[in-house]
């Protein structure tokens, strides 16, 4: 309201309702896009230990990064899949409500200044190789190798208004639901439950939980410290 000089919330609401392009600009400005590669390295270590071993038994793997932001965590997953010889048989869907961050994720180009932190996270997460081998540095940017995103599909998706679009062996939605109230969280959990195959996995952020949700009885937590659940039904 301060930026566009609206005197009342009603004026802003009328503009959002009547002007589709303004609504899209509003979405791009109001959504939170804080992420990094191998964020919470302990999560990725548990992910490699428990989930990747199981996924390796599948002939084909579908993974959905819901609320992927600018894509750093999608590339993190792709690197681990590659190191476990699973990337070639995996389809990675990366979605977000914000088309601007989807464009950044699709490009796979990130600030070079972040690579030191990302490399440290990668080592703590149990990375097997040289992190620098996964990107090419040019000036102040780092472009991640195209072979990491060969099987990536980027698209806009609204977790509240859009429906399930495939069946997945794994859904990662980390540090997104903390911005939703309980009814909306439950709605998203139901969407995820409709989308996860039997025996599949759901991974959430450190401050998020499946407990007390309408689908909690369908899952068991596979690590007492990390927010990873396996579907048992």
CATH at residue 210:
3.40.50.150
Residue 6 and residue 118 share a domain:
no
Q: Tell me what pLDDT residue 31 has.
A: 73
- Grouping H, G, I as helix, E, B as strand and the rest as coil, residue 175 is coil
How many other CB atoms sit within 10 Å of the CB of residue 109?
17
Per-residue pLDDT, 28:
75
Same domain, 20 and 134: no
Alpha-carbon distance values, 38 to 141, 167, 222 (Å): 18, 25, 20
Count of Cβ atoms closer than 10 Å to residue 96 Cβ: 26
One domain, residues 11 and 76: no
Same structural domain, 23 and 131: no
Find out whether 229 and 220 touch, Cβ atoms under 8 Å. Answer: yes
- Residues 218, 139 share a domain: yes
205 and 110 together in one domain: yes
Domain-embedded: residue 194: yes
Residues 100 and 17 placed together within one structural domain of the fold: no
In 3-state terms the chain splits into helix, strand, coil percentages (rounded to 5) of: 45, 20, 35
Looking at the domain assignment, is residue 75 inside a domain? yes
Domain containing 189 equals 41-231
The pLDDT value recorded for residue 148 is: 97
> Which residues in the chain come in under a pLDDT of 70?
32-34
Q: In angstroms, rounded to a whole number, what is the distance separating the alpha carbons of residues 193 and 178?
A: 18
Q: Is residue 26 domain-shared with residue 48, that is, in the same domain? A: no
pLDDT at residue 34 in the model: 66
Residues 113 and 161 in one domain: yes
Residues 89 and 4 in one domain: no
């Amino acid at each position: 309201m301060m930026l566009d000089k609206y005197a009342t919330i009603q004026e802003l609401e009328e503009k959002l309702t009547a002007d589709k392009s303004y609504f899209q600009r509003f979405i791009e400005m109001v959504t939170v896009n804080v992420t990094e590669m191998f964020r919470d390295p302990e999560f990725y270590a548990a992910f490699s230990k428990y989930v990747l071993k199981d996924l390796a038994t599948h002939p084909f793997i579908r993974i959905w990064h819901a609320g992927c932001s600018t894509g750093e965590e999608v590339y993190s997953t792709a690197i681990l899949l590659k190191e476990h010889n699973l990337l070639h048989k995996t389809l990675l869907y990366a979605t977000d409500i914000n088309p601007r961050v989807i464009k950044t994720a699709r490009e796979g180009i990130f600030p070079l200044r972040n690579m030191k932190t990302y490399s440290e996270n990668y080592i703590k997460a149990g990375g097997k190789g040289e992190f620098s081998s996964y990107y090419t540095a040019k000036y102040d940017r780092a472009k991640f190798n195209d072979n990491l995103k060969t099987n990536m599909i980027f698209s806009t998706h609204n977790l509240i208004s859009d429906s399930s679009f495939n069946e997945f062996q794994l859904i990662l939605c980390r540090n997104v639901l903390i911005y939703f109230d309980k009814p909306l969280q439950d709605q998203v959990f139901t969407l995820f439950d409709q989308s996860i195959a039997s025996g599949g996995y759901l991974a959430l952020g450190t401050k998020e939980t499946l407990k007390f949700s309408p689908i909690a009885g369908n899952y068991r937590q596979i690590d007492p410290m990390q927010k990873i659940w396996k579907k048992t039904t």
